[in-house]
Amino acid sequence: MVSCFHCGDDCTNSTIEHQDKSFCCAGCRTVFDILNDNDLSYYYELENRPGISPQTVEGKYDFLDNKEIVEKLLDFNDNNTQIASFVIPSIHCSSCIWVLENLNKINDAITVSQVNFPEKRVQITYASERISLKELVLLITKLGYEPYISLEDSEKKNKKYDRSLIYKLGVAGFAFGNVMFLSFPEYFDLYSSNSVVEDLWMVQFKPLFRWLMFAFSLPVVFYSGRDYFKAALNGLQTGFLNIDLPIAIGIAVLFLRSTLDIAFDWGSGFFDSLCGLVFFLLLGKFFQQKTYSYLSFERDYKSYFPIAVTRILKTSEGLVTEEQAEVYKIVKGDRLLIRNNEIIPVDAILLKGNGLIDYSFVTGEAIPVEKMSGDTLFAGGKQQAGILEVEVLSAVEQSYLTQLWSNSVFNKEKSSVFESLTNSISKRFTIGVLSIAFVATLFWLVVDPTKAFNVFTAVLIVACPCAIALASPFTLGNILRIFGKHKLYLKDASVIEEIAKVDTIVFDKTGTLTTHKKQQIRYEGVSLSEEEKELLTNSLRASNHPLSRALSKILSNNNIQVLDEFEEVVGKGISASFHNNSMKIGSYDYVNVQSQELVEQVVPNTGTKVHISSNQQYKGCYLFNNVYRDDLSEVIELLSKTKEVIVLSGDNEGEKELLNELLPKDTQMHFNKKPEDKLHFIKSLQKKGKKVMMVGDGLNDAGALKQSDVGIAISENTNVFSPACDGILEASEFKSIPDFFRISKRGIEIIRWSFMLSLLYNLIGLSFAVTGHLQPVIAAILMPLSSISVVVFTTLATQLSSRSLKRF
């Protein structure tokens, strides 16, 4: 089999030879010519199979002739210069980046193009007088990089990046390094009277060094560390002793005690420990907040629906015209033109044309639904059989599908529980530290009053729970990174803790337990002769129906012939003839079956069917069934050992028997569930005290995903679309779900062990503090050592825990 020089796909009998190279289609050949003519053939040297087959997009981007729509898509528009950004899902390698960043060599009206590979986004600056936005989009589409433009893009808002944490971390790090340097003589007691003569200059400048340390600590306390004081104050106001309270006390006492030390010449203070403490705390917070900015976890219908649609208008003279209108401006009663492969953005009645609507992303059902004139079409379906004329029943915000987002569940925020494990011990810890501090102070007031103040401040300093505060973010943050490496992208680290609590898992069926990428097709009936197989194959090749294309792939080994007659009746089937043979392929009624007994004998009652008759004689049918994911039985079996597993589907019970064979006997299965039914089902489980994870794939699962304690969206392509969720799992990693649960639970155990390690350091420090022997050098060693050791421990422990993931 010959491979296409551009995209690397296997070429068929329609291989195009051009310049001693083979291409699978005219589109790939055209792209090669464009790159070759513009001296960009180096593109093919960057990767083994760099290209993407370009798609046919005739009329698809006509809405870009509408200036009002274009204005909403632009990032910048001033005089002759415009800047536009597009999501390009097909970006996948270095050659993609290279060709997109060299668009100026193809069209000199393009000034600059810059690719953001993690976000799969390209930003292009161009001269609008020489090339329009529509022409630009058509150019990159022609190259095989079709942009993904949705209704969401019409509401572009400038992203606001909060860099304050980075600034605070930078200030704390800078101060920490300088204070450590200035404190160096203190560690070796170089200011003592026994120092050698060469060190006398240090004695002379000792006050300057100490006040410089004070100066460096000011921005650390009042800028870098101010959030801890705010959080502690908020906690006190609400009557909750969070982990920020002892941290804030520790920072304040460190600063005040150190200031008094240098002001009254009692010592050098603990400025090094103060700056180091804040630096490591902010480092943990930075690690906690790091997430996958290139994935969207809060999507709704706007990310899926088109930005514009063709509206049919009648002039006063009775003439019919068309215009590209924004979807938001479509109202009830408008007539729309829906082209082949376009999304239906509103609920409507079909007026003209034969509908073949793919609702796979709405319902999860992969088989298109046939619709005739007068039928209702729901928003979110994709037309796959020619042009339709429809009349709008309701505006986009009022359609059946989009009303799902009006449910109150989408208006509430899931409370952040990232620090729940840490805060669970904070109240006892704070009370314990304060108790020790007061008891020790009272003791020394009786024994030696001169040491009482030192002991009180020393206890509060050394017991500052910096290592405890670092345990959670570094443990969960590292697990977040490991999960991302294995294609489970979580919204934030708090989801890991929630996963560890889950006791009930609810799976959607179609698209979640099954795969969209392939179907199981089998033939039931009388065997076909070689001539009939060839006629069947050639008839299917001439059709663009999804079922025809699927069948054609499994029959591709038969010879290609030019048919004598061919007719395709949309929504019914195909009739064809070659020489003296004729054949009909399609629905039960269309093939003109004569033997009802034979039909009942060979045709099962379940599944999608394509019937066949040859020379007016019924032969049988091809049955299409969902293909379940690899390792499904093993995955559900493992999960069932520790959790309750439930299958929730919008389909009928046609595959219940097959699921009974694949899944454990005690697995609950519920069918015929609408989107709102799934949401209410999750609510009912939560009212029983269950911690629920919902695993789904389509817009119909969005409500249930949002309502659940953890919502995970299964996606065949993580870069295009996924409903609102807490995490996105690439379908190829479905088999790793039990491992993700195990590692999440292990992560919580690691955090607890980290707490024990931190407690050990606190006990050692307290033993110095309560006895009045806490010196700056001891604090300088213990506080950073406890933080660093906790970070090292959590990193190594999480790495070891994740070894079961196959590609680790």
Predicted confidence (pLDDT) per residue in 785-798, tens digit: 777 788 888 888 88
**Is the model's pLDDT at 202 over the cut of 70?**
no
Q: What is the pLDDT averaged over residues 38-45?
A: 73
Under 8 Å between Cβ of 583 and 570: no
pLDDT at 46: 65
Q: Retrieve residue 545's tokens.
A: 């129906």
pLDDT at 220: 93
- Is residue 493 one of the residues assigned to a domain? no
When mean pLDDT is compared across 407-416, 495-504, 560-569, the lowest value belongs to 407-416
Question: How many domains in the chain?
Answer: 2
Residue after which a domain boundary falls, among 610, 627, 644: 627
> For the stretch 149-166, what's the b/e string if a residue is b when 16 or more beta carbons lie within 10 angstroms of its beta carbon?
bbbbbbeeeeeeeeeeee
pLDDT at 415: 47
Question: Among the residues of 15-78, which ranges form H helices?
Answer: 26-37, 43-46, 67-73
Beta-strand pair 382-383/617-628: unpaired
pLDDT at 645: 92
Q: Retrieve residue 240's tokens.
A: 């909750």
pLDDT at 464: 67
Task: Band the pLDDT of 172: cuts 50, 70, 90.
Answer: very high
pLDDT at 197: 45
Under 8 Å between Cβ of 353 and 337: no
Residue type, 535: L
- Is residue 318 one of the residues assigned to a domain? yes
Query: The tokens 């595959």 sit on which residue?
Result: 655
- Is residue 560 one of the residues assigned to a domain? yes
Residue type, 774: L
**Is the model's pLDDT at 682 over the cut of 80?**
yes
Q: What is the pLDDT averaged over residues 711-739?
A: 77
Vertex 664 angle, CA 662 and 668, to 5°: 100
**Is the model's pLDDT at 519 over the cut of 60?**
yes
Q: What integer best gives the mean pLDDT of the chain?
A: 77
Supply the range of the domain harboring residue 549: 517-627
- Is residue 209 one of the residues assigned to a domain? no
Of 85, 93, 97, residue with least CA distance to 147 = 85
**Is the model's pLDDT at 103 over the cut of 70?**
yes
Q: What is the pLDDT averaged over residues 413-439?
A: 64
Vertex 214 angle, CA 213 and 220, to 5°: 95
Question: Among the residues of 391-419, which ranges form H helices?
Answer: none
pLDDT at 171: 93
**Is the model's pLDDT at 428 over the cut of 50?**
yes
pLDDT at 778: 67
Higher pLDDT, 377 or 651: 377
- Is residue 537 one of the residues assigned to a domain? yes
343 DSSP 8-state letter? B
Q: What is the pLDDT averaged over residues 704-728?
A: 75
When mean pLDDT is compared across 99-103, 291-295, 360-364, 688-692, the lowest value belongs to 291-295
Residue after which a domain boundary falls, among 359, 393, 427: 393
- Residues contacting residue 43 through CB under 8 Å, at least 6 positions apart: 35, 50, 51, 95, 98, 99
Q: Retrieve residue 287's tokens.
A: 């690690």
What is the pTM (predicted TM-score) of this model?
0.65
**Is the model's pLDDT at 226 over the cut of 80?**
yes
Edge-first strand listing for the sheet containing 121-127:
74-78, 81-87, 121-127, 110-116
CB neighbours of residue 688 within 10 Å: 8
Residue after which a domain boundary falls, among 595, 627, 659: 627
pLDDT at 223: 94
Task: Band the pLDDT of 808: cuts 50, 70, 90.
Answer: very low
Q: What is the CATH number of the domain that holds 358?
A: 2.70.150.10
pLDDT at 694: 92
For the ranges 384-393, 414-423, 430-439, 508-517, the one whose mean pLDDT is highest = 384-393
Under 8 Å between Cβ of 143 and 34: yes
Higher pLDDT, 459 or 582: 582
Q: What is the pLDDT averaged over residues 691-700?
A: 82
- Is residue 595 one of the residues assigned to a domain? yes
- Is residue 552 one of the residues assigned to a domain? yes
Q: What is the CATH number of the domain that holds 617?
A: 3.40.1110.10
Edge-first strand listing for the sheet containing 388-392:
320-326, 308-314, 335-338, 388-392, 348-352, 376-377
When mean pLDDT is compared across 403-407, 520-524, 539-543, 607-611, the lowest value belongs to 403-407
When mean pLDDT is compared across 82-96, 120-134, 398-412, 692-706, the lowest value belongs to 398-412
- Is residue 199 one of the residues assigned to a domain? no
**Is the model's pLDDT at 506 over the cut of 70?**
yes
**Is the model's pLDDT at 418 over the cut of 60?**
no
Task: Band the pLDDT of 776: cuts 50, 70, 90.
Answer: low
pLDDT at 571: 64
pLDDT at 476: 81
pLDDT at 741: 92
Q: Is the dihedral of CA 88, 304, 547, 550 positive or negative?
A: positive
